Amino acid sequence: MKVDYNLFINSNKETYLKYVNFYNSFGYLHLTNALNNKLVKKCRQEYKKLYEEKNKKSWDKIMKSGVQFFIPNFYEESKFFLDEILIGKILPVAKLMSKDKPIYLGSDGSCFNGQSFQWHRDWFAKSRMLKFNIYMNSGFHFGGRHILIPGTQFTNDEFSQSVGRGGAWPFLPQKFGWLNENNFFPETPAPRDHFLKRIFRKIKGQNFLPYVAIKPKPNDIILFDQRTWHMVEKPFPAIPQMLATGLFAVHPESNVPQNIPNKDQDKSRIDDELRELAALYVGERKMIGCDNYGKFLESSSKENLLCFQANKKICDLENYKDLNIKLSDNSYSINIENTMKNYSAEAQKARALNSYLNDGYTDEMLGINYSNIVKYHKSYDKPGKNKERENII
């Protein structure tokens, strides 16, 4: 669903809540005309400048390599991006989507230069997620759309978990497309296939999975819950797709389920979700090997950003002993060591019972992502594989 950016952030509560409700149900929102043309031009210049500084190469040489590039803490590594885009443009939307209490989890810059992921989830956490994508390249190409399967963002939901039965994630795929696993669904073409091949297959009447496809413009912001099954379609011609993202979680206090009978149970839920978010904050920085945040966060308007803070530089740690994580408003604090050990143990059990599958995660990150699958299916076996039929054969 599309909505003009200024209409959304300047509308009355009755109006903007309709779009919030749509997002909470389907997991995406297309905010148009968020950046004017002058700001778009400045964004492209700053984007290329950051890539040149990080890679110590010219933009042309970076593009000739034909690989996917990734820069963590992207917005915080630029005073311009931090103040003008993250705080100036993204944060106002994040506040409306979270009853004024979004938790900032970080940012990154990804340049899909011929390569990208097939169908996947980024994380599969309990809390609602707000991922803001801005594609800074021009829109003069075919394909290249941001596609997702609406409603697949919920961890405790049969539809969402059922789609996961047909997918490889959080393990690596054995078949092209990443939602063609386990003989669970009829095999479908992968949207990362060549654009002309996809057109030919549609003319032939081949089935595709039901998804929403959003063609981004550099003036727009695509907001989606990155727990959904999603991917970026391959463009034609094969231009580099210049993506920058900012990630927030909705504070668990702002996301009260209807079926919580008393305050004690709700407090337990909030603590559980905050613990999971703190572990995600730690686990991702450890896996990527990046600083806790970019260099400009401390000196900028960080009082505007509620975020997790650590008493140590996470990527340098050999273990999590005495690692304390807190929210910047001092409303929550946890010694994370035992939590990370528990998630690591979850991953080891999952790998042991799915030894035919590989994954690209650290123990802690696999454990965090897989724990909500395990909790729902009551089994560490990857759901979707039809064991009864195998036994008959």
DSSP string, 338-379: HHHHHHHHHHHHHHHHTTT----S-HHHHHHHHHHHHHHHTS
How crowded is residue 68: how many other Cβ atoms within 10 Å of its Cβ?
15
Res 165: pLDDT:
95
Contact 173, 166 (CB under 8 A): no
What's the pTM value of the predicted model, to 2 decimals? 0.93
**200 in a domain, yes or no?**
yes
pLDDT tens track for 293-340: 999 997 665 568 999 999 999 999 999 999 999 999 999 999 999 999
Element (H, E) at 236: strand 235-236
Res 233: pLDDT:
84
Which one-letter amino acid corresponds to residue 218?
P
Res 300: pLDDT:
62
**59 in a domain, yes or no?**
yes
User: How many independent structural domains does the chain possess?
Assistant: 1
**359 in a domain, yes or no?**
no
**221 in a domain, yes or no?**
yes
**283 in a domain, yes or no?**
no
Res 390: pLDDT:
43
Res 66: pLDDT:
66
Could you give the CA distance from residue 45 to residue 52 in angstroms, rounded to a whole number?
Answer: 11
Contact 45, 266 (CB under 8 A): no
List helix spans (H) across the chain.
5-10, 13-26, 37-55, 59-64, 79-80, 91-97, 158-165, 195-203, 263-288, 337-353, 363-377, 387-392
**316 in a domain, yes or no?**
no
Write out the residue range of the structural domain in which residue 163 sits: 2-268
Q: Which residue is listed with tokens 């996809």?
A: 198
Could you give the CA distance from residue 356 to residue 166 in angstroms, rounded to a whole number?
Answer: 16
**328 in a domain, yes or no?**
no
**90 in a domain, yes or no?**
yes
> Which residues of the chain fall below pLDDT 50?
388-393
Instruction: Kindly report the CATH number assigned to the domain that includes residue 155.
Output: 2.60.120.620
Could you give the CA distance from residue 393 to residue 28 in angstroms, rounded to a whole number?
Answer: 42
